[in-house]
Each structure stands twice: as C-alpha cells, then as structure tokens.
C-alpha cells in the first residue's frame, strides 16, 4: 500500500506472468474487504489501482484475484498434401493464437466448390495435424476447412485451396548411381546386385531386359526394396555380360535407362588346335584364339606336352602368338599336347591334342609364302617368294605361276617348265590391264594348292619424262620443234654433246614446215652404258628451249667382289664377299652360292678306259640375302672351289670364284666332363657342379650344355637355353630351376668348343627335389644383461633359420683374456634350452669373451659373433627412489581412511632403506630403522630386478593433518 490519505489509498501488487495450467493470465480482480462482505469489486488490467471513497479511520482489507478471460482460437494454416480418386490428404499448422487456452483438437469439414453445404468429416476432435478426407466424388472440385478447438469453443476455420479429386500424375523417373551408369565390371563367380530407384505417380510398372531379352527366371532374380528395383544374380557367369535395360511406365509417360555389365573371367578353350607340320624332329602346332577371351586381352598361351607313356605334363612353353614349334622330340615317339590360353585373370581350360607320332610325312607341299612382286613394266611383272612352310617330307623341286586377266574366266599356267629358283619375271602381258597371279610348288609327291591370288595392275611404259627398258631393247626419243627461224637442234647425254650420229646412237632431224621440225634419237640395242639423262636443245636468235628425258637400262648385276674364305673347320667354312659395283638398275634379290670338288690325284687309266668326268658346280644355296654364308657338310681333308653370283629380277651375274681351299679342322671335339654332382637341392631347384673334361680337343672350352631326366626315363631334356660360360665362385656350377617337387632327377653335362659339342658325361647320382634339412643359422651375438664379481648373465636372440628342424638348445663357449682358443661351458648332452644363461665361478677383475652355438637334430650352427670384452666385477649404481603416487593423493586424506605410499628403490649394492615421519601424531621407532606413526607399518621389500627393489607401502590410519613422511636410501 502507498499514498494512504484520509479518503484514498493506492494499492499496488506485483505483476508476474503466470500460467495456471495452460491458461495465460490477462486480468486482475481487486476486492475491498471489510469485516462485512466486500463493497468494491473491479476488474483491471494494470498492476496498480487508486481506491477512492474510503472512510477516515476505517480499517480496510484488500485482496487480488486472477480473472480467466479465455476466447476461441484463431484459424489454422491448411494445405492439401495429396489426392487420390477417392480421398483428399490434408495437413495444417496450429493457429498463431490459441485463445489463451490449450488446443484440445481439430474438426475437419468439406464442401464442393460453389456449394455452402459443409459436411463434417471428423467424428470427434482430431488430435494430430493431418487427416484424410473420404466420401468425395472422383473428378469433383472440393474445398476443405479445419477448425481449432479449446475450452472456450471452436475457433475461426482455416481453408485449403480448391482441389480436384483425382489420382496424382507424375512422370516416372529412374535414378542410378554414377558408378553403375558408367558400366559394371565384375569377376565371374561373384554376386551381381544392380539397383535402380524408380519413382512416379501412380507407381510405374517395371520391366528389365538383358541384351533385349527377358531375364532367365531360374538365374536372375528381380527384387523390390521400397522404391528400388534390383537385379540380383548369384554366381554370375560370362554369359551374363551385356546390356541391362530397365523400362518403367505409368499413364504419365515412359522412362528408360540402361547400363552395361562386363563379367571378367579366365579365357575359354582355344579353338581349331591342329598340327600343321609333323616331322621326326619337330611338330608345329597352330590354333585359333578362344571364342571367349574372358573380357580381357590375351597375354599368351602355354603349350605343354607329355610322352604317351607318361602321366605328367612337362616342358611348358609360353608363346604370345597362336602357334608353337615343338622341338627336342624323339623320332618315332608318340606325344600328347595341350594348349592353355592366358589372360590377366588366370589360365583357361586346357585343350588336348594327340597322340601324334614324330615321323616325317609324305605328301605334296604347302603353298609358297610371301608371294609378291618387286617390279613391273608395261608388259612384265617380276615376282619373288619364300619356300613353303611344309615341304611334304620331300624336297621342293620347283614352282609354277598362274595368271588370269580381268576379263578371262580362269587361271592359265604361265611357265610350262618348272622354275627352280624363287624369282620369276612374267612377260607378254598387256599394258594397263589388271591381272591376278598365284603360285604353287611341287615335289616328287605332287603339286601344292595354289596360293591366294595376287592382284597387279599393269603400268604404261612411259610415265612423265622417264624411259625404262631392259638390256637389248630399242629406245626412241622423238621431239617436235617449233620456231622461226628454224632452230638449231642439239642432243646431249649427261651434259655431254652428242656430236654426230653413230650406230649405237642414231640422230635423225627433219624440217617439216616453215616453223616446224622433227628430231628423234634412237638406240637400236640398249645396254647399261646408255643409262642417263638425254637433253634435246633448240635455239635461234630469239632464244632457246630444252627438254630432258631420263633413261634407265635394266640388266643383270655385275659379279660380286672380294670373295674370301674364313673360319675353316672339319666340315664347314664361312664365305664373305662385297656387293657388286653395279646392281643392273634393280635391287639385288639374292645371292647364289656354289661349290665344286677339286681333284688332286688323277687316276691312271688303262687302255680303252674313259677318263672320269670333271667335277661339276653344285648349288649350295640360291636364296642367300646377307653377304656371308656358312657352308656345311663338307668332307675333311678335301679341296673345294667356291663361287658366288648376284641375282636381280633381270638375271644372274657372272660368278666371283675363290682359289682352291683345303677343308681341315685344327681342333677336335672336347671329351666328356667329369660326372656332375648335386651340391645343393630344394623342392624346386638343384645346384650342379662338375669338373672340365680332361681333353679339350685342342681348343678352349666355350661353354657347357646340361640335360636332365627323371629317374628311370630314357628321355633327356635340355636344361639351359644358352651355354654356361662363366665359372662360379666354387668352380663350374649351374642352378636348375622349375623342378617338380618329390621327383627324382639325374643330370649330365657336355662341353663345347669351336669344333662343336662333345659327348655327354656319365649321369649324376639321382636326387629328389625336396627341401634339405640343415643345421641352423648362427644366433646373434650375445649381450651382457648383468654381472657380479663372480658371474656374468648373457642373453641372445635365436637364429633366423632353424634349418628345417627345431632348435634343441645352445652351447656356450668362453675365451680367456690373452688366449686364442675357445672352451665349451657345456656340451651337446647338456644343452641350454633358453636364450639366457648365467656363467658362474668366474675370477674377479678378469676379462672374458663369450659366443653361442645353436643345435638341432642335424648338427651345430656356426658360432655367433663374440661379445665385446667383459670385465668381471660388481655393477655399482647410485640409489634412486620413485614413489608411484599422485600429489593429490597425499595432500588430502579423510580422517579414518587408510593410505599407502609405495616406493621403488634402485641401486647396487642393495641400498639400506629408512622411513621418517614429521608431524603431530604420536610416532615411534619401527625395526630400529624407521620413525613412523604408531598405527603405521612397513612391509618388507621385494626384489624386482638385479638393480632395484620395491619398498612395500606404508599403511596407516591418520588422525590429524600436517604430517610429513620422508624415505631415504
């Protein structure tokens, strides 16, 4: 109360925003109280009231009550969330004004647009703020209102927008992860899971196809998880690769999406495996790539073979191409072969072939290879080729070429006589006509199939200002001259004036008019000297003109030069020569090498007996490309003559001949090396060593060849691809790899010198390809971990390798100062089982060295490195104290609680430990060492290491604060 006067007073009360339940206070009611009922009752909104009309001297009592003035709430904010063909989904937010009371629920009404007939859809107050209105007609337009209710009643309604009753229409949408859109790569055998998220209203129908076909229901499962449609394939296979397409459809449209799945696997089996060539020394296999490469590029093939009598596949050969030449076979033996394709994911299934018997076949040869033309003119084409891959078991005796003009129906044979060389010029062709040519070869068994036809279009004779003729053909170079006055005409060859006409070069000039003249240079029979540039020049007082023609005369080459013989051996020699100075205007195609025996002794002839025929030149090789050639299969101590001819498309040159050459070998073959020994072996390798042969054949040994075989087999297989030429640290040795574990092998070795490879040695002792058991490797150097004045404690780490047998124990060796010998502390019968040992009974202040030997069932290892010099004496350490407690644990301890102070003591010799207490508590001497409170105790120490001991914690029940404890060592 304030301002109390005779007739008035001011009544103030504290305003505080309060809630009674959920009803907000908006007004206050003030009562004037007397001993009798109140005479004043007024509703005010303020927290202060001036009361008038009071009686002086009268005592009044005032009180204030709260007035409850709640009103209906405001309108909610409404919206249509969704529609179907028979319902409307409505959502709303609560009203901004709740009318001063709690919202108890909502009522929902509906009405058709244009009508004021609202019908209630809720049967009771609806608590949530979402409702589905039913009882509506499809296609009609409706409006919905929502009314909030509190204790004061229904509030103002909130209205939605008008909406048609029908199903929502959304076009279908397909969503795939970017990683799936870009394509899926998966290994065969894994599980494929291909999800696609599909949305749309109404929800679309879904159809999956694989490579435009319906999925196999037995293997492909279509799953639906929410809006995700998932293709699931367990244990996916290569055939499942392809385009995966999803199509979704609803009344609003159609949507498509696709991705590609690549299933990666090992390649399939190779196809069309067959032997192309079978001889007694070689079998040539050919095949086609697998139909299925496994989704990855092939990186090669593995070819294996086995004897028909054996069960193990051997001698794998890797090749990048789809063919393989299998050598090192035995004549008459039957073999099985298999080929495996390989990609980066592994090896495919093998394809087997056989059995195939290694014998020379008899039959017509295959067709020649690399058939092509090297030069062509207006009426001729020069061809060259390579021999057939298979001669049919009989030498090829010659070749036939067939031709066919474009307008002719069939091929006709060009050469009736067989062509023995590998080049031929086909003449008599018609200018500017397309021709087809093919070639076939023949042996004594018959003719081969013709090669693939080769198309050739004939050239015109003159192209530009160039004339090309063969030797002996005529040349005519006509020229028309125009000028006034008639020009003076001159012919030059290579800038040299042709002064007058000769029989070899005929010049004819004729004036045909006042302005015209004609001249012609003719060469009746061209030769190589006529090649060059011919120029005709016309000049008068008005000027000059000239024109140049290039003439090329083609002929056979001149002979090769500087033919020499070198590297003469018992059955061979090497020829070297230089190219001809003139190749005849055409590239050399090959050289022809021939030999002839030289008769040194003429036999005496009896009367009437005819002299033996003179030795004839024998062709050694007619397809030599390089300017060197090795002649083999000569007879020792016999004289020969050799000659070489050069050949181009126009003929063969005259020969270049050597002088008489005696064939003899200054060296012989080396003898067999000593029997090889197997120095080391494992489950996949063996190391061989051997001694050189006693007889080197007079020539330095240039290498060694090794062969292996399984114990009991007769087939020796070559081990090294290149001869062993470098001596090892311990002598001649070689490591054989890629052996089969558990197989017993034998080996032999042969030496090679300049004369050839000598006989093989006797077979080595057999050995199995298994890992050997050896003594362990040496342990690490021991370390000193402790010592006293009479002992040393050592520790070491075990050896890295136990040699295939567990380490049983260790032997300790000791060496005195100044001594060179080692003494064993223990022997094999008393091994030390651990890696730590204390050496007792040593002399004080004496110096020693120590080392360790590991032992297993096979034997002893090499000794470890020795220790550094060890002086036998006590180790002395200054005492150190460590109290393992936090400071806060000691500062504040509740009265009546026990506490412990653990202390770790270090030092050598063992320190003397005492505890001392300073404080108000009653103390006394304990164990004649420690000054501590009466209710405390000291536990005896426990040694934790040779250099430390732990003082057991003090236990006490403190009764006062301010005590101080000291520990000293």
> What per-residue confidence (pLDDT) applies to 36?
47
- The mean pLDDT of 436-442, rounded to a whole number, is 91
Query: Is the confidence at residue 69, as pLDDT, over 70?
Result: no
Query: Is the confidence at residue 616, as pLDDT, over 50?
Result: yes
Asked if residue 678 lies in contact with residue 767, where contact means CB atoms within 8 angstroms, the answer is yes
Topology annotation, domain 677-769: Immunoglobulin-like (2.60.40)
- The H helix count followed by the E strand count for the chain is 2, 81
Between residues 471 and 606, the one the model is more confident about: 471
> What per-residue confidence (pLDDT) applies to 220?
86
**What mean pLDDT value characterizes the chain?**
83
Query: Is the confidence at residue 950, as pLDDT, over 50?
Result: no
Percent of the chain predicted with pLDDT > 70 = 89
- The mean pLDDT of 234-262, rounded to a whole number, is 86
User: Which of 117-126, 199-208, 614-623 is the least confident region?
Assistant: 199-208
> What per-residue confidence (pLDDT) applies to 693?
93
> What per-residue confidence (pLDDT) applies to 837?
93
User: In the structure encoding, which two tokens stand for residue 243, read together?
Assistant: 């385009």
- The mean pLDDT of 621-649, rounded to a whole number, is 91
- The mean pLDDT of 133-151, rounded to a whole number, is 89
How far apart (Å, rounded) are the C-alpha atoms in residues 209 and 244?
6
User: Which of 254-268, 351-365, 938-952 is the least confident region?
Assistant: 938-952
**CATH of the domain spanning 77-165, picked from 2.60.40.10, 3.40.50.300, 2.60.120.10, 3.20.20.80:** 2.60.40.10
How far apart (Å, rounded) are the C-alpha atoms in residues 403 and 437?
5
Ramachandran sector of residue 214 (left: φ over 0; alpha: ψ -120 to 50; beta: rest) = beta
> What per-residue confidence (pLDDT) applies to 888?
52
Percent of the chain predicted with pLDDT > 90 = 27
Q: What is the CATH code for 271-358?
A: 2.60.40.10
> What per-residue confidence (pLDDT) applies to 4?
60
How far apart (Å, rounded) are the C-alpha atoms in residues 267 and 294?
4
Query: Is the confidence at residue 581, as pLDDT, over 70?
Result: yes
- Per-residue pLDDT band for 22 (boundaries 50, 70, 90) equals very low
Cis peptide before 760 (omega within 30 of 0): no
Q: Which residues pair with 768 in a beta bridge?
A: 744
Q: What is the CATH code for 783-872?
A: 2.60.40.10
DSSP per residue, 1-14: -B---SS-EEEE--
Which of 932, 936, 899, 900 lies closest to 914 in space, CA to CA?
932
Between residues 180 and 737, the one the model is more confident about: 737
> What per-residue confidence (pLDDT) applies to 29?
52
> What per-residue confidence (pLDDT) applies to 357?
85
> What per-residue confidence (pLDDT) applies to 964?
42
Q: What is the CATH code for 467-554?
A: 2.60.40.10
* Torsion, Cα of 407, 408, 410, 416 (10° steps): -130
- The mean pLDDT of 569-584, rounded to a whole number, is 90
Classify residue 888 by its DSSP letter: H
- Which parts of 608-659 are beta strand (E)? 618-624, 628-631, 638-648, 651-652, 656-657
- The mean pLDDT of 378-398, rounded to a whole number, is 85
- The mean pLDDT of 324-329, rounded to a whole number, is 84
How far apart (Å, rounded) are the C-alpha atoms in residues 857 and 862?
15
Asked if residue 438 lies in contact with residue 454, where contact means CB atoms within 8 angstroms, the answer is yes
User: In the structure encoding, which two tokens stand for residue 583, read together?
Assistant: 């190749």
For residue 498, how far is the Cα from the chain centroid? 73
What are the CA-CA distances from residue 882 to residues 472, 903, 905, 951, 954 (Å)?
A: 119, 6, 7, 10, 14
How far apart (Å, rounded) are the C-alpha atoms in residues 237 and 266?
11
- To the question of pTM greater than 0.85 for the whole model, the response is no
Q: Where are the domains of the chain?
A: 77-165, 170-264, 271-358, 368-457, 467-554, 561-599+616-663, 677-769, 783-872, 877-942+957-967
What are the CA-CA distances from residue 619 to residues 417, 421, 624, 639, 862 (Å)?
A: 19, 11, 12, 17, 69
Query: Is the confidence at residue 303, as pLDDT, over 60?
Result: yes
Query: Which CATH architecture is the domain 368-457 placed in?
Result: Sandwich (2.60)
Between residues 336 and 926, the one the model is more confident about: 336
Topology annotation, domain 170-264: Immunoglobulin-like (2.60.40)
- Per-residue pLDDT band for 260 (boundaries 50, 70, 90) equals confident
Which of 267, 249, 465, 452 lies closest to 366 in space, CA to CA?
452
> What per-residue confidence (pLDDT) applies to 491?
92
Per residue in 858-887, pLDDT (tens digit) is 899 999 999 999 998 888 888 888 876 665
What are the CA-CA distances from residue 682 to residues 215, 496, 769, 804 (Å)?
A: 54, 84, 6, 12
> What per-residue confidence (pLDDT) applies to 602?
67
Asked if residue 335 lies in contact with residue 308, where contact means CB atoms within 8 angstroms, the answer is yes
77-165 and 170-264 share one CATH topology? Answer: yes
- Which parts of 377-487 are beta strand (E)? 381-386, 398-405, 412-413, 423-426, 434-443, 446-447, 454-457, 466-470, 475-482
Asked if residue 646 lies in contact with residue 652, where contact means CB atoms within 8 angstroms, the answer is yes
Classify residue 322 by its DSSP letter: S
Asked if residue 831 lies in contact with residue 855, where contact means CB atoms within 8 angstroms, the answer is yes
Between residues 645 and 65, the one the model is more confident about: 645
> What per-residue confidence (pLDDT) applies to 960?
30
Helix (H, G, I), strand (E, B) or coil at 181: helix
561-599+616-663 classified as CATH 2.60.40.10: yes
Query: Is the confidence at residue 927, as pLDDT, over 90?
Result: no
């Amino acid at each position: 109360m304030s301002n109390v006067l005779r007739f008035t007073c001011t009544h103030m009360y504290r305003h505080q925003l309060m809630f009674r339940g959920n009803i907000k206070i908006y007004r206050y009611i003030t009562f004037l109280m007397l001993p009798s009922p109140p005479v004043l009752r007024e509703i005010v909104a303020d927290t202060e009231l001036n009361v008038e009309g009071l009686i002086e001297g009268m005592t009044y009592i005032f009180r204030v009550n709260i007035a409850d003035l709640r009103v209906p709430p405001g309108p909610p904010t409404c919206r249509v969330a969704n529609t179907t063909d028979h319902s409307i989904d409505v959502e709303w937010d609560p009203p901004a004004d709740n009318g001063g009371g709690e919202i108890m629920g909502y009522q929902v009404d509906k009405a058709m647009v244009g009508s004021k007939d609202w019908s209630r859809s809720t049967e009771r107050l609806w608590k949530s703020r979402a409702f589905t209105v039913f009882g509506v007609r499809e296609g009609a337009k409706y409006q919905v209102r929502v009314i909030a209710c509190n204790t004061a009643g229904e509030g103002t309604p909130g209205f939605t927008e008008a909406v048609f009753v029908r199903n929502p229409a959304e076009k279908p949408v397909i969503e795939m992860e970017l990683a799936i859109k870009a394509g899926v790569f998966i290994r065969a055998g894994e599980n494929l899971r291909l999800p696609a998220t599909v949305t749309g209203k109404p929800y679309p129908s879904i159809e999956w196809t694989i490579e435009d076909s319906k999925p196999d229901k037995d293997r492909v499962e279509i799953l639906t998880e929410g809006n995700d449609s998932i293709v699931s394939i367990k244990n996916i296979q290569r055939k499942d690769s392809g385009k995966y397409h999803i199509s979704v459809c609803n009344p609003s449209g159609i949507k498509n999406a696709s991705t590609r799945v690549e299933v990666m696997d090992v390649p399939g089996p190779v196809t069309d495996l067959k032997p192309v060539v079978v001889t007694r020394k070689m079998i040539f296999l050919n095949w086609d790539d697998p139909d299925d490469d496994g989704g990855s590029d092939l990186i090669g093939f593995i070819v294996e073979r086995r004897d028909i009598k054996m069960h193990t596949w051997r001698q794998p050969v890797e090749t990048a191409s789809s063919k393989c030449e299998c050598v090192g076979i035995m004549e008459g033996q039957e073999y099985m072969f298999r080929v495996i394709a390989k990609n980066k994911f592994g090896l495919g299934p093998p394809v087997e072939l056989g059995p195939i018997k290694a014998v020379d076949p008899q039959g017509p040869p295959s067709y020649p290879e690399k058939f092509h033309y090297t030069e062509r003119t207006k009426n001729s084409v020069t061809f060259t080729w390579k021999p057939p891959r298979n001669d049919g078991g009989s030498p090829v005796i010659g070749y036939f070429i067939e031709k066919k003009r474009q307008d002719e129906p069939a091929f006709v044979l060009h050469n009736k006589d067989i062509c023995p060389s590998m080049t031929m010029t086909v003449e008599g062709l018609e200018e500017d006509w397309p021709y087809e040519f093919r070639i076939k070869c023949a042996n004594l068994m018959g003719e081969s199939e013709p090669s693939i036809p080769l198309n050739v279009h004939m050239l015109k004779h003159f192209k530009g200002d160039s004339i090309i003729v063969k030797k002996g053909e005529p040349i005519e170079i006509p020229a028309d001259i125009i000028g006034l006055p008639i020009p003076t005409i001159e012919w030059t060859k290579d800038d040299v004036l042709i002064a007058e006409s000769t029989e070899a070069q005929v010049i004819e000039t004729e004036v045909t008019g006042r302005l015209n003249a004609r001249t012609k240079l003719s060469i009746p029979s061209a030769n190589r000297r006529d090649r060059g540039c011919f120029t005709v020049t016309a000049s008068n007082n008005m000027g000059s003109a000239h024109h140049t023609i290039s003439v090329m005369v083609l002929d056979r080459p001149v002979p090769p030069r500087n033919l020499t013989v070198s590297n003469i051996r018992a059955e061979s020699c090497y020829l070297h020569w230089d190219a001809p100075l003139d190749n005849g205007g055409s590239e050399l195609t090959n050289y022809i090498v021939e030999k002839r025996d030289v008769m040194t002794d003429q036999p005496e002839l009896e009367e009437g007996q005819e002299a033996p025929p003179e030795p004839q030149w024998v062709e050694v090789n007619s397809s030599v490309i390089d300017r060197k050639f090795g002649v083999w299969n000569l007879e020792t101590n016999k004289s020969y003559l050799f000659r070489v001819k050069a050949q181009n498309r126009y003929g063969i040159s005259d020969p270049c001949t050597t002088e008489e050459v005696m064939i003899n070998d200054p060296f012989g073959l080396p003898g067999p090396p000593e029997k090889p020994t197997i120095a080391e072996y494992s489950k996949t390798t063996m190391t061989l060593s051997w001694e050189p042969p006693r007889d080197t054949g007079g020539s330095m040994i240039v290498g060694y060849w090794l062969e292996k075989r399984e114990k009991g087999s007769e087939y020796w297989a070559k081990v090294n691809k290149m001869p062993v030429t470098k001596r090892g640290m311990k002598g001649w040795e070689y490591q054989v790899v890629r052996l089969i574990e558990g197989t017993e092998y034998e080996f032999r070795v042969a030496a090679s010198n300049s004369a050839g490879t000598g006989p093989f040695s006797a077979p080595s002792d057999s050995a199995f390809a298994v890992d050997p058991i050896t003594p362990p490797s040496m342990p690490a150097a021991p370390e000193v971990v402790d010592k006293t004045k009479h002992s040393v404690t050592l520790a070491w780490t075990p050896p890295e390798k136990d040699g295939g047998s567990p380490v049983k124990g260790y032997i300790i060796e000791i060496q005195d100062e100044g001594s060179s010998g080692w003494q064993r502390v223990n022997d094999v019968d008393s091994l030390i089982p651990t890696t730590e040992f204390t050496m007792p009974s040593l002399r004080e202040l004496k110096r020693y060295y120590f080392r360790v030997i590991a032992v297993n069932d096979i034997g002893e290892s090499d000794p470890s490195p020795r220790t550094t010099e060890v002086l036998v004496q006590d180790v002395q350490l200054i005492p150190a104290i460590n109290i393992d407690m936090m400071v806060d644990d000691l500062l504040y301890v509740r009265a009546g609680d026990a506490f412990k102070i653990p202390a770790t003591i270090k030092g050598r010799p063992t320190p003397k430990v005492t505890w001392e207490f300073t404080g108000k508590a009653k103390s006394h001497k304990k164990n004649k060492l420690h000054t501590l409170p009466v209710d405390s105790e000291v536990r005896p120490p426990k040694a934790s290491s040779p250099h430390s001991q732990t003082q057991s914690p003090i236990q006490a029940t403190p009764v006062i604060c301010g005590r101080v404890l000291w520990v000293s060592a």
